Structure 1
Amino acid sequence: MSLDVVTQELAARAAEHDRDASFPYDGIAVVHKHGLLTATVAARYGGEGAGLARTVDILSALGAGDPAVALVSAMTLFTHAAQARHPSWPSHLYDELLAESKAWPALVNALRVEPELGSPARGGLPATAGRRDGDSWVIDGHKIFSTGAVALSWMAVWGRTGEDPARVGSFLVRGGSPGVRVEPTWDHLGLRASRSDDVHLEGVRVPLDAFVHTPGGRGADLTAWNALGLAALYLGVARSAQDWLIGFLHERTPASLGRPLATLPRFQAAVGEIEAALVSATVLVRAQAAGYDAGLPVEAGIGKLVATRAAIGAVEQAVALIGNNALNRRNPLERHLRDVLCARIHTPQDDTILAAAGQAALSQYTKEHTP
């Protein structure tokens, strides 16, 4: 199966879902049909056992077709990848997820961000809490920016226990459980079809073993997956923008010129600039993903920074090159621009990446020059 086929199938309705801000159930079904939604399930569980390099290729292809589908799929892929490397789900609950995944697209996401706390990557403890009641946890909380909330089979809800001292981790909650309410708040510039709505949990009950103790929230092992996987997604968006640009330049023949814009050195050089940026970023992300799979240390944050800047810059260059046609809603370039700008908001964000890189470089100098 060629990933190009999947890209084309997703692209067929991407504009419609973006316009209506409707969840792309059909696109998720495509990903499931081709076996990509569970690609990272470990071989010991009967899965493909895809590593990060394979996942980067998958998310690039999905991002080129429909980045909302790609983002929702990424969250499920990352969950299976984490379970493959550091099992945390109770075996019987993960078996249920795997059984469901064979029958339908069983989506999973970690719900972490809260109205008051913001992103937990910046520190702090969640307000979402579970109190023990007999053989259950009773959970109350409010999560925002919950990607794919309306379609999730399982939600890993980051919260704390009502114990002393409290433990921090994730409550594994079935989507649609009594007390789970999805509030349709998502009205975003880009990735509109991702339906990253609010989720309210009001007296939601889960078994005691459905709490996974993870100090600090999401496991550190997912950092590289999140950074490089999402970087690849947005490089896919930029490639779609470049493809449209190239087609436009071949088709556009001003009467005053008498030949396509693609024949002019100015446009050829501009497309060359875009190509150079995207090739360089893609090579970096793929190399880092392969290095990670080989057990080598990688600066995944820097890879994300370079790749997302290249993707955003490429689409912005395309818009500047075309002018009014680029922002006409009849053409997909304005949608690609809105979607690619979302690359900046994902953890780790640029300021965090740069601060960490700067601190590491400065510390290295100190080590080398301290007697």
Structure 2
Amino acid sequence: MTGVEAPAHTFAAPDLSDAALAAVTAEIAGTAAEYDRTAELPWAGLRAAHRAGLLTAAVGRQYGGPGAGPRDVARMLTAIGEGDASVGLLAANLLLTHAGQAAHPSWPAAAYDDLLRRSQDGPALANAVRAEPELGAPARGGLPKTTATRTAGGWRLNGRKAYATGGAGLAYHVVWAVADEPGGDPQRPRVGHVVVPGDRPGIAWIDTWDHLGLRASNTHDVIYSDVEVPADAFVEIPRGPDGVYRDPAAAAGPGSLGHVSLYVGVARAARSAFAAFARERVPAALGRPIAQTERIQTVAGEIDLQIVQAETLLHGALLRLEAGDQSILPELSAVKVAIARSVIAATQAAVAALGNPGLSRHHPLERHLRDALCIRVHPPQEDAVLLAGGRRVLGT
């Protein structure tokens, strides 16, 4: 490697065998119910994923990481999500951050080096902080009210964001903002992300997260008040050839299937919980486990069918991308929606068949159902996907 500087950090490739991933799933699952009750950040699950090397698996080779590709990332997130969906969401945001930096380096060098340094010792979380209370998610269009104002030494960040997953546990925020700068066009300002250390003065959290599912994800609101960052912290997002800014989350891409992957894990967890209950439940009138009845066997088959369908769509799409088949790109949004439907159908089938036990907080199926329903909120959302697909088919 003469003439090439060695990476400052080294991260070993994780064991991605089925047995190793199953062990991580089991360890994470051991604390999932308690974190769901307390809504505290699931540090035990995150540490388990970190020890297994999963949280740094997507660090690029140029930075000393394994450089895991989309299919391996999907397998890891499915395993983590099967253990705890909240850990899966936090891990997905981090892994996709590392994968994005590996493919298209954009972070300030010192900031990314610091994130990697922190990652040597334990979970160091990062996430794109984009939604706002008035605007909602940016995939529907519009520009943020959050501003990055140019100063003599860098930028000053001001604004309020909603749904900032990771909360005060974030080592780094990647904040969507418009540039307020001398000579800028106020009608068409530069748009970008501001890379902000989570411990910077001026960051205040508002505990707004009281959600149906993913309760331990700490997806709270955050206020930035005159947060000072250096000049290279603003990373511009280019406009399209027509000069219009379009949010990259408005259409699915290879990275967006990472979030979908964790919910496939939730469906798997629901299948396991359903099977365990069916084997153990022996009604007095029946005298044998309900697992031995054709009714429950048929439901189990339906659950399995939906999961097989979701996994085949997920990995089939990723294999086509891996092979260089670009023709699937316009179809990825529809793939995301189809996987979401299968995940929810599998989980709802399990709950419906068990009746009251499936809706009781004493049984994990109730938590899995709540978590599975959250797949719908990830962009692109179903109505936008169906509208775009219909227009494409009809040529309108």
Q: Classify the TM-score, shorter chain.
A: over 0.9
> Which amino acid is 1:182 matched to?
W
Report the Cα distance in structure 2 between the residues aligned to 1:247 and 1:321, rounded to whole angstroms.
Answer: 13
**Does the 8 Å contact 2:130/2:138 carry over to 1?**
yes
1:242 counterpart = 2:271 = yes
1:322 to 351, 354, 357: 354
CA distance in 2, matches of 1:93, 1:192: 29
- TM score, norm. by length of structure 1: 0.95
Shift of residue 354, structure 1, vs aligned partner = 1.1
Query: Is the partner of 2:256 in helix, strand or coil?
Result: helix
Which residue does the alignment assign to 2:202?
Answer: 179
Identity of aligned residues (%): 46
Structure 1 position 221, deviation (Å): 11
Closer, same or farther: CA 45–346 of 1 in aligned 2, 3 Å: same
Structure 2 partner of 1:143? 161
Of 280, 289, 299, the match for 1:251: 280
Structure 2 CA distance for aligned equivalents of residues 350 and 223 of structure 1: 11
1:74-124: CA deviations, max 9, x gaps?
001111111111111122322222222112211100000001111111111
Partner of 2:91: 73
1:352 and 2:353 correspond: no
Alignment map for 1:149-188 (pairs within 5 Å): 149-163=167-181, 164-165=184-185, 166-188=189-211
Of 102, 118, 131, which aligns to 2:149? 131
Q: What does the per-residue CA deviation read over 1:154-209, in whole Å, with 9 as the maximum and x for residues that have no partner?
A: 00000011132221000110002100111111100100000100110000000011
Distance 1:11 1:222 in 2: 32
SS of residue in 2 equivalent to 1:224: coil
* 1:194 equivalent among 217, 221, 241: 217
Tell me how far apart the structure 1 counterparts of residues 126 and 358 of structure 2 sit (CA, whole Å): 35
Judging changes above 3 Å, is the alpha-carbon distance between structure 1 residues 283 and 276 closer, same or farther for their aligned structure 2 residues? same
Gaps of 5+ in 2: 1-14, 239-244
Offset of 1:290 from its aligned partner? 2.0
TM-score using structure 2 length: 0.89
RMSD: 1.6
Q: Partner residue of 1:42?
A: 60
Deviations 1:256-284 (A, max 9, x none): 11111111111111111111111011011
Q: Secondary structure at the match of 1:127?
A: coil
1:1-371 equivalences under 5 Å are: 1=15, 2-163=20-181, 164-165=184-185, 166-215=189-238, 216=245, 219=248, 223-297=252-326, 298=328, 299-363=331-395
Aligned partner of 2:374: which letter?
A: C
- The answer to whether the 8 A contact 1:82-1:222 is kept is no
Whether the aligned pair in 1 keeps the contact of 2:139 and 2:250 (CA below 8 Å) is no
Unmatched 5+ stretches in structure 1:
367-371
Structure 1 ranges of 4+ moved more than 6 A: none
Structure 1 residues 350 and 222: CA distance shift in structure 2, 3 A: closer
Cα displacement (A) at 1:357: 1.5
* Whole-angstrom distance in 1 between the partners of 2:114 and 2:291: 54
Rounded to whole Å, the distance in 2 between the matches of 1:94 and 1:251 is 50
Partner amino acid, structure 1, of 2:365: L
Quote the Cα distance in structure 2 between the aligned partners of 1:218 and 1:172.
Answer: 18
What is the one-letter code of the residue matched to 2:213? G
2-structure distance, mates of 1:195, 1:248? 30
1:39 is paired with a residue whose SS is coil
Residues 149 and 179 in structure 2, CA contact (< 8 A), matched pair in contact too: yes
Number of residue pairs matched by the alignment: 364
Q: 2:201 is paired with a residue of what secondary structure?
A: coil
Residue in 2 that maps onto 1:369: none
